[in-house]
Amino acid sequence: MSVFTRLFSRDDSSFQIDRHAVEKLLGVHVNNLALYQTALTHRSLLRGCPDPKSISNERLEFLGDAILGLVVADHLYRHFPDQNEGFLTRLRAKLVNGKSLARDALDLGLGQLVLMSDVMDTASGRSSRSILADAFEAVIGAIYLDRGIEDATRFVERTVLNNVDLAALARKNDNHKSALLELAQARKWPQPTYRVSEESGPSHDRIFTVEVIVNHEPSGSGTAPTKKQAEQKAAKIALDTLQEESAILFEDLSEDEH
């Protein structure tokens, strides 16, 4: 008897995933459906379980993250034979960060298959960046265990690598200030403001520390040789902080159900 059969009632079909739906969505032939059931189970569903981490998708997420990193690194290494390690590292980060993976998961339609609590579902869990990105990585782990590295590689190539212009992505400079402004506007917050909190160094070699205020609260600071660079660093820290706070909110909702 599987752990899911023991944990959930047979009458509750909402806790079961459909083999055909999984195969159609992921484009793979499923041998071990239980792996995909685990990959698509968010811990919020496992209320009453003494150790929800043991049967949620977190272990498969860990495995999938490693496989994803390997496949992407190998692809970039072969695609850009003349580029150095720093270039490859930055480009890989753009492909495998939470925002990019969540977008890949949305494009795939993965959110519709994720098993989660009603509270999490009502709280827009199916569009949560962290939940989608985690499930995406967990699915990669499941495919690897079920089908092997070749099928896992093909899945990553199809969903992550083949739909992006790598050369254009490499040329793109991340504008964290614009991203932070868009986030503030989406949440109906005032426009973020920046102020120089510290200057140091001789006149020909100044160092600036800039603080960003988001929704009336100090949300990050950055230090750089120019004010513009310091503002970008501060905006990035603010974005990372806000993303972490959103993830904690979803985790708190999950814990409240236990």
SS3 state of residue 223:
strand
Q: Is 123 exposed, middle or buried (0-12, 13-18, 19+ CB in 10 A)?
A: middle
DSSP 8-class letter at 190: P
**150 belongs to the catalytic site:** no
Q: Let me know: does 222 contact 230? Beta carbons within 8 Å.
A: yes
23 is catalytic: no
Q: Are 193 and 180 in contact (CB under 8 A)?
A: no
Active-site residue among 65, 134, 146, 231?
A: 65
Q: Which of 61, 104, 134, 137 is catalytic?
A: 137
Q: With 0-12 CB in 10 A as exposed, 13-18 as middle and 19+ as buried, what is 217?
A: exposed
**Alpha-carbon distances of 179 from 183, 233, 236, rounded to whole Å:** 6, 12, 9
Q: How far is residue 29's CA from residue 16's CA, in Å, rounded to a whole number?
A: 18
Closest Cα partner for 230 from 181, 185, 195, 191? 195
CA geometry: angle at 73 spanning 110 and 28, to 5°? 35
**Which residues participate in catalysis according to the annotation?**
65, 137
